[in-house]
């Protein structure tokens, strides 16, 4: 099953801007996936480093703060990328 904005699926990056059309939606999801993958890789590396050099409690707290901030930052990063490539109607610039 292919998840697209037309089907209004549960999955995917969805903002008012990303739902303009399928082209914008696919681009936004591609960028969001890349940003999230980078976040996960950094999280895994930080996990090994922090748990090796600090206490479990401190490492856990730092990782949870990082994960929360990184997850929230996906939205402005993707919206900036959409803004650079598409106009407000969802057409390529």
Domain boundaries, the chain: 19-85
Task: Write down the pLDDT at residue 20.
Answer: 87
Residue with tokens 């399928």: 22
Length of the chain: 93
Task: Write down the pLDDT at residue 66.
Answer: 96
Q: What is the pLDDT of residues 22-69, one digit of tens each?
A: 899 999 999 999 999 999 999 999 999 999 999 999 999 999 999 999
Task: Write down the pLDDT at residue 46.
Answer: 96
- What's the pTM? 0.84
Round to whole Å and give the CA distance between 81 and 60. 31
Helix ranges (H only) for the chain are 22-53, 56-85
Region 74-84: mean pLDDT is: 97
Q: Examine the pLDDT at 4 and tell me if it is beyond 80.
A: no
């Amino acid at each position: 099953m292919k998840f697209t904005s037309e089907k209004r699926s549960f999955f995917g990056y969805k903002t008012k801007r990303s739902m303009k059309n399928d082209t914008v939606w696919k681009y936004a999801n591609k960028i969001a996936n890349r940003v999230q993958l980078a976040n996960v890789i950094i999280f895994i590396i930080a996990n090994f480093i922090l748990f090796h050099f600090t206490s479990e409690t401190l490492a856990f707290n730092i990782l949870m703060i990082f994960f929360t901030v990184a997850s929230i930052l996906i939205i402005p990063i993707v919206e900036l990328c959409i803004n650079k490539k598409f106009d407000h109607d969802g057409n390529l610039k």
